[in-house]
C-alpha cells in the first residue's frame, strides 16, 4: 500500500487558499463599463515659479527638494532649468563638451585646468577622456 495521506496533506493549504480566492473573485460585483483614465496635462510652469525654483536650487537646494516645493516633477524641473540656462550640479558632460575637453587636453592643458574650465573635477574629466579613447599622459606630461 502506498501512503497517500502524507503527500496529500501538503496540498491542503494551497487548495484552501485557491478556493477562497476563487470565492472572493466570484463574489465581486462585475462592472458593466470601465472608465478609462484620462491623462491630465501638467500645469504650466509660470515665470515666477521658475524664478523661485532657480533661486532655491542655486542657493544649494537639491533638485528633488526644490521640485517638491514648487509642485513639479524633478525631471521636468531639471529640463526647465536647463532650458533657462541654469547649469545643474552633478551632471555628465555633453558630447560637445567632451570634444572640447579632448582638444584642450591634447594641446597640453592639465586635467585640473580642463575641469576648472568646464566645471568638473579632474577625475571626471579623466574618466570621460579615457572613455573617448584619449591616451593619458603621466603626471610629468609624458605619454
- pLDDT exceeding 90 applies to what percent of the chain? 29
pLDDT greater at residue 92 or residue 131:
131
Res 132: pLDDT: 93
Res 131: pLDDT: 94
Task: Supply the Cα-derived Rg of the chain in whole angstroms.
Answer: 30
Q: Is 33 helix (H, G, I), strand (E, B) or coil?
A: coil
pLDDT greater at residue 27 or residue 104:
104
Q: Name which of 3-12, 88-97, 104-113, 127-136 the model is least confident about.
A: 3-12
DSSP H/E element including 125? helix 122-131
Domain extent listing, the chain: 47-83, 95-131
Res 19: pLDDT: 81
- Prediction pTM value: 0.48
Per-residue pLDDT of 11-46, as tens digits, reads 677 777 888 887 877 777 665 556 666 666 666 778
CA gap 138, 143 in Å, rounded: 6
Amino acid at each position: 500500500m502506498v501512503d497517500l495521506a502524507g503527500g496529500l496533506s501538503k496540498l491542503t493549504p494551497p487548495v484552501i487558499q485557491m478556493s477562497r480566492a476563487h470565492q472572493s473573485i466570484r463574489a465581486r460585483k462585475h462592472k458593466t463599463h470601465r472608465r478609462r483614465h484620462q491623462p491630465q496635462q501638467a500645469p504650466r510652469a509660470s515665470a515666477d515659479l521658475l524664478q523661485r525654483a532657480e533661486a532655491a536650487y542655486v542657493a544649494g537646494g537639491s533638485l528633488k527638494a526644490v521640485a517638491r516645493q514648487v509642485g513639479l516633477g524633478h525631471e521636468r524641473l531639471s529640463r526647465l532649468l536647463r532650458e533657462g540656462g541654469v547649469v545643474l550640479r552633478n551632471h555628465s558632460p555633453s558630447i560637445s563638451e567632451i570634444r572640447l575637453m579632448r582638444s584642450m587636453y591634447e594641446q597640453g592643458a592639465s586635467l585640473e585646468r580642463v575641469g576648472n574650465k568646464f566645471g568638473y573635477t579632474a577625475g571626471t574629466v579623466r574618466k570621460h577622456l579615457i572613455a573617448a579613447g584619449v591616451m593619458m599622459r603621466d603626471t610629468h606630461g609624458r605619454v
